[in-house]
Structure 1
């Protein structure tokens, strides 16, 4: 594994790889020498400031891209040119054209291309999917997914829409992706929200109508008032049962281990019961899935490039609806 980007997510991925018997971080690449050398020291590998030099000198099978969003395409294309498998953090990119170039390069190189949309691996969301697929909810009447956060303080690059896409792409995408993983392809979207002074849609509520007839709402706010705890919720209401999940953590996701998180199942005349779940690390579960498939030479199944592309289409349709005030058909 080569980790490109030694920030918070690069550190998170290194911690996951250290628990895995079939993955070893062999290189770290970051322009920031102090940050890059620190992560490389933790990994016991070399630090590089240049991706091309890293891929020429280090033993690398997979390039794990944990860089700012606007740099994803450059390094995905570089990895593909060297015939390395590609893992890329979300949001994968900000345009369909860039995504298509990345996916085409991976196909032509004969390498796997996976995007880390990690909520699909989050314990409570995995449980909700299991209940849905088992028919426990009955016909779905309504679903709502919500994600609320103060604005990240990582770097100035994040604040500009052309760099990160703002809360719409970086935060709201998680819940849109999860709802698509449950209910399939989106037919229409209608969204309301507020854009900040830099042009980022950081307050968004989206109504999604799926091709299978299910209706759902996703809410994403990345400019909550100072001191607000990172909060996410999932509510699925069926004709037989409903599930409600809520988590409150510290600032952003740096302190998930001490978060308050509860999942409840209601219906069938019951008072409601709290679900007891194994609270494993979602990032480790996600990367284990990716690496196991790469090692076995089998396609990554948890999230495919086609699914990633559709979610990006939905996000772009939401932006169109926010700007036009109209319902957008995909």
Structure 2
């Protein structure tokens, strides 16, 4: 049994708590939050002991690992206090607020040698693994990706998502999933350029983000990718399309399906991707139990590359110039 504690009782923290209660190999031993109202709700809902003091939680519960679900600017202290006690760290995306902070966290993880994982759950998708198999050794020339959601149209959605300073906006907070997965499948990004605007939801004092953006990326291997993103679409679409003279595949991350053609042969593969959060947490627990970092598909060190792409996309959108990575 792997004993885990949780830092942060917000939407993501409670999501992981809900997932872990059904995983036999995991015992949740504590949850910490500075917000008394949110902490009380989580404690009552999940029957886990609550703490306002993070270090006190680590000292009293002595977990094997900690699930860190705080905003990205609150990471270095939490990782250091855990890692220096030999407590392994699962860190939600984005891995940090900026590269300077990310490098400090990475140094802590390197020095202490604890198991680490970052919450890029799409890497655990069966459809993604099938896509890797299908494109291996094949030429990919063009990639089209889209992530369409309606967060900005939901009146009850937490307002901090729409504060550019706090959330970073859709490119930093959500599209980083696409940037990470694209790196995982295609290689490293060399440069980006793009545009943003607010044609559906206008900017205001409590809405300082763009509601939509479009970006073009060039990889070091020459692959070109266009990505379209919005938070003002009344539905959910998350897809990546791979195009060349050898293949034409569409990876649908909502449905867990990859379909199309490879060498003129029709392809259709469907996986059960309803449990991606469960799979990433099970992998983290297994890595701890076996003391094997290789079980984890998204390490902190690798996640820094995805963070850099997201930060450079934000820079390109705000400046309107090509940004080299």
**Compared CA separation, residues 85 and 191, structure 1 to 2 (3 A):** same
Cα distance in structure 2, aligned partners of 1:108 and 1:11: 30
What's the counterpart of residue 321 of structure 1?
Answer: 316
1:148 aligns with 2:148: yes
Give the superposition deviation at 1:329: 1.5
| 8 Å Cα contact 1:70-1:162 kept in structure 2 | no
- Equivalenced residue count is 312
What's the counterpart of residue 307 of structure 1?
Answer: 302
| 8 Å Cα contact 1:103-1:113 kept in structure 2 | no
Cα distance in structure 2, aligned partners of 1:142 and 1:206: 14
Question: Which deviates more from structure 2 when the two are superposed, residues 174-183 or residues 314-323?
Answer: 314-323
Can you list the C-alpha shifts for 1:47-91, whole angstroms capped at 9, x where unaligned? 112212211211312110112333334422332343321111111
Q: Which has the higher contact order (CA 8 A, sep 6+)?
A: 2
Q: Which residue of 219, 237, 248 maps to 1:210?
A: 219
**Compared CA separation, residues 12 and 126, structure 1 to 2 (3 A):** farther
Give the superposition deviation at 1:178: 0.7
Question: Which deviates more from structure 2 when the two are superposed, residues 71-80 or residues 155-164?
Answer: 71-80
| 8 Å Cα contact 2:30-2:51 kept in structure 1 | yes
Q: CA RMSD in A?
A: 2.4
| 8 Å Cα contact 1:265-1:275 kept in structure 2 | no
Can you list the C-alpha shifts for 1:97-130, whole angstroms capped at 9, x where unaligned? 1111111122223322321011212333332223
1:229 aligns with 2:213: no
Instruction: Name the SS for the 1:90 alignment partner.
Output: coil
1:241 aligns with 2:247: yes
| 8 Å Cα contact 1:123-1:282 kept in structure 2 | no
| 8 Å Cα contact 2:162-2:208 kept in structure 1 | no
Can you list the C-alpha shifts for 1:290-319, whole angstroms capped at 9, x where unaligned? 221122112244122332111111112212
1:32 aligns with 2:35: yes
Cα distance in structure 2, aligned partners of 1:325 and 1:45: 48
Q: Which residue of 291, 314, 328 maps to 2:285?
A: 291
1:193-208 map, 5 Å: 193-194=196-197, 196-197=203-204, 198-208=207-217
Runs of 5+ in structure 1 lacking a partner? 249-259
Cα distance in structure 2, aligned partners of 1:245 and 1:308: 21
TM normalised by structure 1 equals 0.85
Question: Which deviates more from structure 2 when the two are superposed, residues 104-113 or residues 310-319?
Answer: 104-113
**Compared CA separation, residues 110 and 307, structure 1 to 2 (3 A):** closer
Give the superposition deviation at 1:158: 2.6
**Compared CA separation, residues 269 and 184, structure 1 to 2 (3 A):** closer
